[in-house]
Amino acid sequence: MTVTQGAEQAQQKTRGNHAGFVRYLINRASGTLVSLLAIVFSAFFIFRVLPGDPVTNLMQEVENPTPELEARLRAEYGLDEPMMIQFWNYLTDLFQGDLGTSIQYNVPVMDLFVDRVGPTVLLGGVAMVLAVFIGYGLGAASAWRHGTRFDRVNVYSALVFFAAPTFLISMLAIIIFSRELRLFPTGRMGSAQTPDEFFPQLLDTVYHLTLPTLTLTLMMYSGYLLTMRAAMLDEMGNDYLTTARAKGLRDAAVRRKHAMRNALLPTTTVVFMSLGNLINGSLITEMIYSWPGLGYMFYQAISVPDYPVLQGLFIIFAGSTVLANLAADILYWFIDPRARKV
């Protein structure tokens, strides 16, 4: 084979990879588009079946309610229009980037999102980082010691936390660490008596963050542990580990530098997909601990019901998960050659 023929074959292979990636991307993106459209349509109708009327509930908080005031409020929020007209207005505003105005707070939903997204990302981000390190570390060690008591304890514990309801773990944590041991507060993000200085505020936030982070980490780490354990068990039968041992490498070095490194490739997409749950993964935890994030705002909006807030948060929660799955699929194409054969 000449140099020219080799170059032509390399170019053909590159063009084939590009064409395959375009087909793969179109296939995944079309499914994502359908999911996003379903989310947009569902966000409007799914909350209209909730009991209660938002304007009626607001009128109960007014000292001197009048029919004229109720009619004005309904007209202001577009609730006096037929359902399909409301749906058309919702679609028109949404495709212009407007999520509507909160009935409960009378401010744009996007402003509420900007105010509340920070606490949610803080709680979810810290918990996810801890869960990844703990889960992957214990998963790799458990697979390396497959069949031992250490492995069984890790797997059984992970399955318990994986199956346990979030509210149950949260309530047990509150009972043990807040009520009995009195180590941590039961909720909120800070104390009113904390001085308005950086370090006191930082320490107070960390103090209030500890218990919900512990709860969320326990709920998340099990998935990472089981994923890493399965990936490590697949790698342990390969010949390159025997070769590494034959070179005189210590067992810990073989596990860390060879087996675990290769096992991380298929598990990387799991972490990437978890980024989509960074916003909505702490929904129940925020509700129980009154953590002032998006999840707690969603809980407060249900009681009204605040349609624009519920619709906007539903789109953000579900949409972020769908887009993160798309990004994980794209990443999977580059890190796993098996995806290129699909």
Tell me if 324 sits within 8 A of 280, measured CB to CB: no
Let me know if residue 5 belongs to a domain. Answer: no
Let me know if residue 32 belongs to a domain. Answer: yes
Q: What is the pLDDT of residue 248?
A: 64
The pLDDT tens digits along the chain (342 residues) read 554 545 455 455 555 567 777 888 888 889 899 999 999 999 999 888 878 788 888 888 777 778 888 888 888 888 888 889 999 999 999 988 888 889 888 899 999 999 998 998 899 889 989 998 999 889 888 888 888 999 999 999 999 998 888 888 888 999 999 888 888 888 788 887 888 887 888 898 899 999 999 999 998 888 889 888 888 887 776 666 666 666 666 666 666 666 666 766 667 777 776 776 666 667 888 888 988 988 889 888 888 888 999 999 999 888 888 888 888 788 777 766 555 555
Separation of CA 152 from chain center: 28
Q: CB neighbours of 277 closer than 8 A, spacing ≥ 6?
A: 124, 321, 324
Q: What is the pLDDT of residue 3?
A: 45
Q: Which domain holds residue 134?
A: 14-341
Let me know if residue 117 belongs to a domain. Answer: yes
Question: Using CA atoms, how far apart are residues 296 and 292, in angstroms rounded to an integer?
Answer: 6
List pLDDT tens digits, range 208-253: 999 999 999 998 888 889 888 888 887 776 666 666 666 666 666 6
Let me know if residue 219 belongs to a domain. Answer: yes
Q: Which of 217, 218, 219, 194 is nearest to 205 (CA)?
A: 194
Q: Which of 262, 318, 297 is nearest to 109 (CA)?
A: 297
Q: How far is CA 220 from CA 160, 271, 281, 283, in A?
A: 12, 11, 9, 13
Let me know if residue 6 belongs to a domain. Answer: no
| Token output for 180 | 């009995």
Q: Which of 287, 338, 317, 333 is nearest to 26 (CA)?
A: 333
CATH code for position 67: 1.10.3720.10
Let me know if residue 2 belongs to a domain. Answer: no
Let me know if residue 327 belongs to a domain. Answer: yes
Let me know if residue 220 belongs to a domain. Answer: yes
Q: CB neighbours of 113 closer than 8 A, spacing ≥ 6?
A: 99, 294, 312, 313, 316
Question: Using CA atoms, how far apart are residues 76 and 101, in angstroms rounded to an integer?
Answer: 10
- pTM over 0.85? The answer is no
Q: What is the pLDDT of residue 52?
A: 79
The count of structural domains within the chain is 1
List pLDDT tens digits, range 39-57: 999 999 988 887 878 888 8
Q: What is the pLDDT of residue 17?
A: 60
